[in-house]
Amino acid sequence: MLTGCLRKGSKSTRLKMALMLLVLSCQFVHVLSEKSSSALTVLESTETSLDDEDAHHMEEESDPEDLDVFRPTDQWQSLKPGQAVPRGSHVRLNLQTRQREVKLGEHQIIKYQIDGQRQGKENTPGPSFNAEELKKALKNIKEGVDPETSDKEKEEEEALRAQFRPMEELKRDMAKLDMLMESDFQVISRLMSQFNSSNTTVEEKIKALHDLEYLVHQVDNAQNLASRGGLKLVVDALNSTDYRLQESAAFVLGSALSSNPVVQVEAVESGTLQKLLMLLATPRPMSVKKKALFAVASLLRHFPFAQSHFLKLGGLQVLGDLFRASEGGALRVRIVTILYDMINEKELISQTGLDPIPDASHNERLVQYAQVSLMPLLAEQGWCSLVPELLASPEHDWKEKALRTILAMMPHCQTQYRQDYTLSSSLHTLQEQYQELVLSEQVLGDEDGYFGEILALLETVLLKLK
Ligand SMILES: *[C@@H]1O[C@H](CO)[C@@H](O)[C@H](O)[C@H]1NC(C)=O
Ligand SMILES: *[C@@H]1O[C@H](CO)[C@@H](O)[C@H](O)[C@H]1NC(C)=O
Ligand SMILES: *[C@@H]1O[C@H](CO)[C@@H](O)[C@H](O)[C@H]1NC(C)=O
């Protein structure tokens, strides 16, 4: 039962993709204006062809004199209204902040390099024009429409024309570059069909998954992959016969699912959880299990629907068996982290429920989290005594994770813990150890150190056992 809220999520993604496509196909200069709520005003800058409406637009709303030319870098940066962007920049709309963001497009990076080489300036790979020149060029465009241009200005215009390569030549170059360069969208398509081809060797498939994993860290890329059937290909690879493919597929999934509700919904709907749990429940190399746990954690995070599904599929049982089987292993802390995150999320959402005016989606989430009855199951399946086993690990942060989880489970485990003398004696031993560590921390001048934090956790747990 998926909620309307989630469905809305995937609709807005389609809108977002459409917007991105629109934006990426724009030419030369985008003039963004706050007044036109239709978002983008696109300026086609051939020598003369500003159509009247655009020219009018520009005169009214953004005098090119005042135009601020944005200098993109290889990072996404927010664009202010009225800022112009050099051709080839990637522009996207951030739906959360409602701001437009821009970064250097691959075309530009390459173009700068090619231009640099042509002019024999290999050591100075920079733009072939600077912000001032671009401003002038924009001014020029406007004046090209204006008949009253003084001779001096005309000379300047000629000089500028000479500086800038003719549009036709630029277009030819761009066409060549388009053949050489691929957008993320194209790369994903290529990797998908490579991966899906019966001709591709296992090594090549692993390489393709590796490249995909890099790309899907970007929210839009992961959604592209999902919307074009690529996610299903990756999910299917989870039960391929080759362990390395299983591992790489789980890795791609974990990254694609991280903080990406649209992909999380799609993944649950295509049976990802069953396959991941199958990897965890059957004998596999450690590397496969680690990546599968990573994917499970990404899938469950902030997604109560997947969490209740996980419980229904017996996920807790699978994790319990894995915990028992991996004594002292690094899997244990990963498992406890997944549990802790689920308990904590639900706790946090019920606390923010005390806000005076909770919105509709918040209420929806409350309802969904209410259906995740994790705690009783945890107690029933022996987690009250499993989690404290992590206290024996040599790692401080593992012990910290165990203590936090013990505290989180306290309401359901308290009775059991009060009768558990092994637990209280190991807690007391730890208390002594950390008291000493805190002292040595203080000698080094660290008053609020990490060991102090762990000691405080220990004392809170001990207090609750009294
Ligand atoms: C597989 O490779 C062969 C030769 O390399 C080629 O002729 C054939 O078209 C390829 N098939 C597919 C489905 O790509
Ligand atoms: C994978 O290949 C099959 C045929 O070999 C095709 O039917 C399917 O649509 C392809 N899937 C994707 C996502 O390209
Ligand atoms: C993977 O599992 C599904 C069912 O979960 C099955 O239909 C499919 O044939 C399996 N594929 C392989 C390669 O084992």
Question: Can you tell me the mean pLDDT for 167-186?
Answer: 73
- Report the distance separating Cα 161 and Cα 174, nearest Å: 19
The structure tokens listed for 184 are: 């993320």
Structure token digits, residue 299? 């899938």
**Rounded Cα distance, 131 and 112, in Å:** 14
Under 8 Å between Cβ of 440 and 409: no
Q: Answer whether residue 144 shows pLDDT above 70.
A: no
CB 402 within 8 A of CB 388: yes
In this structure, of 32-36, 99-103, 375-379, 452-456, the range with the lowest mean pLDDT score is 32-36
- Please check whether residue 41 is in contact with residue 31, taking contact to mean a CB–CB distance below 8 angstroms: yes
Taking 50 as the threshold, does the pLDDT of residue 277 lie above it?
A: yes
For 260, what's the count of Cα atoms within 13 Å in the CB-facing half-sphere? Answer: 25
- Tell me the C-alpha distance between 164 and 128, whole Å: 9
Closest ligand 2 atom to 230 CA:
13
Please report how many Cα atoms fall inside a 13 Å half-sphere around the Cα of residue 39, on the Cβ side.
15
Read off φ and ψ for residue 97, nearest 5 degrees. Answer: -90, -10
What is the average per-residue pLDDT within 155-174?
A: 71
Q: What is the pLDDT of residues 242-265, one digit of tens each?
A: 999 999 999 999 999 999 999 999
- Give ∠ CA 335-340-344 in degrees, rounded to 5: 155
Mean pLDDT, to the nearest integer, of 272-278? 96
In angstroms, how far apart are the furthest CA atoms of the chain?
A: 97
> What pLDDT shows up at residue 39?
36
Contact call for residues 291 and 247 (beta carbons, < 8 A): yes
Q: Which ligand is nearest to the CA of 235?
A: 3
User: What angle in degrees, to the nearest 10, is found between the helix axes of 219-227 and 243-257?
Assistant: 120
- pLDDT band of residue 54 (cuts 50, 70, 90) is very low
199 close to ligand 1 (CB < 6 Angstrom): yes
What is the mean pLDDT of the segment spanning 415-431?
95
Mutate to test the pocket of ligand 3, among 205, 232, 239, 275 (most ligand atoms within 8 A of CB): 239
| Cβ–Cβ under 8 Å, residues 342 and 408 | no
Residue-averaged pLDDT of the chain: 76
Percent of the chain with pLDDT over 70: 66
**Which ligand is the nearest neighbour of the Cα of 201?**
1
| pLDDT, mean of residues 193-222 | 94
Q: What is the pLDDT of residue 132?
A: 60
Distance 211 CA to ligand 3 centre (A): 24
For the ranges 110-119, 155-164, 294-303, the lowest mean pLDDT is seen at 110-119
Measure the CA–CA gap between 154 and 165, rounded to whole angstroms. Answer: 17
pLDDT score for 214: 95
Q: Any idea which ligand is nearest the CA of 193? A: 2
For residues 177 and 213, the answer to whether their CB atoms sit within 8 Å is: no
Range of weakest confidence among 111-120, 151-160, 241-250, 436-445: 111-120
Banded pLDDT at 133 (limits 50, 70, 90): low
- Record the tokens describing residue 374, joined without a space: 């994790």
Gap from CA of 195 to ligand 1 centroid (Å): 14
What confidence tens digit (pLDDT) does each residue in 376-386 have? Answer: 999 999 999 99
* Residue 434 binned pLDDT confidence (cut-offs 50, 70, 90): very high
Q: What is the mean pLDDT of residues 282-304?
A: 95
With a cut of 80, say whether residue 221 has pLDDT above it: yes
- For ligand 1, is residue 197 a contact (CB within 6 Å)? yes
In ligand 2, which atom is closest to the CA atom of 193? 14
Quick one: pLDDT band at residue 16, thresholds 50, 70, 90? very low
Per-residue confidence (pLDDT) for residue 22, from 0 to 100: 36
CB-ligand 2 contact for 192 (6 Å cutoff): yes
User: What are the phi and psi torsion angles at 356 (to 5°)?
Assistant: -60, -45
> Which tops the pLDDT comparison, 185 or 296?
296
What percent of the chain is predicted at pLDDT more than 90? 50
Report pLDDT digits (tens) over 294-343: 999 999 999 999 999 999 999 999 999 999 998 767 899 999 999 999 99
Ligand with minimal distance to 196 CA: 2
Given a contact cutoff of 8 angstroms between Cβ atoms, the answer to whether 214 and 221 are in contact is no
Please name the residue whose Cα sits nearest to atom 13 of ligand 2.
Answer: 229
pLDDT higher than threshold 90 for residue 414: yes
CA of 196 to the centre of ligand 1 (A): 13
Higher pLDDT, 10 or 326: 326
User: To test ligand 1's pocket by mutation, which of 199, 200, 204, 205 has the most ligand atoms within 8 angstroms of CB?
Assistant: 199
Question: End-to-end CA distance of the chain, in Å?
Answer: 43
Range in 46-60, 71-85, 309-323 with the lowest mean pLDDT: 46-60
Residue 79 phi/psi, 5-degree rounding, is -105, 135
Residue 435, both tokens: 């008291």
**129 or 372: which leads in pLDDT:** 372
Residue nearest to atom 10 of ligand 1 (CA): 199
Atom of ligand 2 nearest to the CA of 198: 5
pLDDT at 72: 73
314 φ/ψ angles, rounded to the nearest 5 degrees: 80, 25
Higher pLDDT, 61 or 88: 88
- Residue 9 pLDDT > 50, yes or no? no
Residue that is written with structure tokens 């190399």 in the block: 285
CA dist., res. 238 & res. 232, Å (int): 10
Nearest alpha carbon to residue 378 among 411, 356, 345, 347: 411
Higher pLDDT, 239 or 8: 239
Residue 195 Cα to ligand 2 midpoint, Å, equals 10
- Structure confidence at residue 184 as a pLDDT band (50, 70, 90): confident
Q: Identify the CA nearest to 273 among candidates 244, 245, 242, 303.
A: 303
**Per mean pLDDT, which range of 56-60, 184-188, 208-212, 331-335 is the poorest?**
56-60
- Range of weakest confidence among 78-92, 222-236, 412-426: 78-92
d(CA 135, CA 64): 7
pTM higher than 0.75 for the full model?
no
Whether 52 has a pLDDT exceeding 80, the answer reads: no
